[in-house]
Amino acid sequence: MELAKYKACICEGAAKNAIIDILLDHNLLIFTREEMLEEEVIRCRDGKHFEEKYLRKGFLDKISVIRILDSRRENFKLSKSIQPD
């Protein structure tokens, strides 16, 4: 899998956030902290809030959104204009 230049790693809870931080600190993921938006894991459950805070800032390149979740019922939707081709 090839990721975009910018990455947004989104976790829903503190435990998942801590695990991703450990994996990042030990270079065990296919991306580094330096490639991530704000160089940190984002805690956000609402797609609209994430879109307003991060995606509407005028990035010239695409952003890969990596979501870590454990609930299949969670609803995280982005605007159709934001979604990939």
- Domain ranges within the chain, ordered by starting residue: 6-68
pTM of the complete model: 0.74
pLDDT at 82 over 60: no
Among residues 45, 47, 40, the alpha carbon closest in space to that of 20 is found at: 40
pLDDT, position 76: 67
Q: What is the pLDDT of residues 14-52, one digit of tens each?
A: 899 999 999 999 999 999 999 999 899 998 877 888 888
Among residues 64, 69, 67, the alpha carbon closest in space to that of 84 is found at: 64
pLDDT, position 56: 67
Kindly state the average pLDDT of the residues 64-75. Answer: 77
pLDDT, position 26: 97
The overall average pLDDT reported for the chain is 83
